[in-house]
């Protein structure tokens, strides 16, 4: 599946990333990794100490990719609201779910401090980045001063992760999009109220 130009260690990491997303940790056997990577038996142990070590490298790579994708829109052009909207609307494989968020449902990942750490760090990082954008919007008067940036950031992450669940349950990405539209409607900057007529 992967190019022979790519080194064996890279093929193993990329194969593991795909399999973790598709099957979870328990469902990702060393044999399946080797088959997908087109690697010979024993090559995993040449490059990694075992499946947990390889899974950790794969999870870290996936977390780095998620951070880069989020940074690209949160550092992009536009107002804070525009950037939050761009994050919520960015292209995703909605029916596959979030490759990092899905790991929180994997009991073997959550039971391992080492495997859970990059998942927890990435979600915490994302909440912090979103909170900073929301706080900027408050300071600019775009969002109401009473909004708590940390709570709004948590709501954004929950909307995305919950949207994946709704879409996967219905088999339809429209369920994800409906959640995004609802949250953006709640966050949309309001024009100052017009004075009441006498």
Q: Give me the domains of the chain, ranges plus CATH numbers.
A: 8-187 (1.10.357.10)
- Confidence (pLDDT) at 9: 92
pLDDT surpassing 70 at residue 1 = no
Task: State mean pLDDT over 155-161.
Answer: 97
CA-closest candidate to residue 176, choices 161, 192, 193, 163: 163
Mean pLDDT, the chain, whole residue set = 91
- Confidence (pLDDT) at 189: 86
pLDDT surpassing 60 at residue 8 = yes
- Confidence (pLDDT) at 5: 53
- Confidence (pLDDT) at 43: 87
Q: What is the C-alpha separation between 21 and 112, in angstroms, rounded? A: 17
Each residue of 59-107: pLDDT tens digit? Answer: 999 999 999 999 999 999 999 999 999 999 999 999 999 999 999 999 9
Q: Please list, in sequence order, all residues whose beta carbon lies within 8 angstroms of the beta carbon of residue 109, skipping any fewer than 6 positions away.
A: 24, 25, 55, 59, 103, 115, 116, 119
Handedness of CA 184, 189, 192, 194 (dihedral sign): negative
Q: Which of 62-76, 106-120, 136-150, 184-198 has the lowest mean pLDDT?
A: 184-198
State the DSSP string of 57-114.
Answer: HHHHHHHHHHHHHHHHHHTSSS-HHHHHHHHHHS---GGG--TTGGGGG-HHHHH-HH
């Amino acid at each position: 599946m992967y190019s022979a130009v790519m080194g064996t260690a890279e093929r193993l990491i990329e194969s593991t990333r795909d399999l973790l997303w598709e099957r979870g940790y328990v469902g990702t056997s060393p044999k399946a990794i080797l088959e997908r990577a087109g690697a010979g038996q024993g090559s995993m142990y040449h490059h990694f100490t075992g499946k947990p070590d390889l899974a950790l490298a794969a999870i870290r790579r996936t977390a780095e990719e998620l951070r880069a994708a989020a940074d690209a829109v949160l550092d992009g052009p536009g107002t804070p609201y525009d950037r939050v909207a761009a994050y919520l609307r960015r292209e995703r494989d909605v029916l596959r779910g979030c490759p990092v968020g899905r790991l929180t449902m994997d009991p073997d990942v959550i039971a391992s401090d080492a495997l859970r750490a990059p998942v927890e760090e990435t979600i915490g990082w994302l909440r912090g980045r979103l909170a900073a954008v929301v706080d900027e919007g408050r300071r600019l008067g775009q969002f109401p001063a009473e909004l708590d940036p940390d709570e709004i950031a948590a709501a954004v992450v929950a909307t995305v992760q919950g949207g994946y669940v709704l879409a996967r349950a219905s088999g339809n990405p429209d369920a994800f999009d409906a959640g995004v539209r609802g949250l953006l409607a709640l966050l949309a900057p309001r024009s100052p109220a017009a004075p009441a007529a006498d």
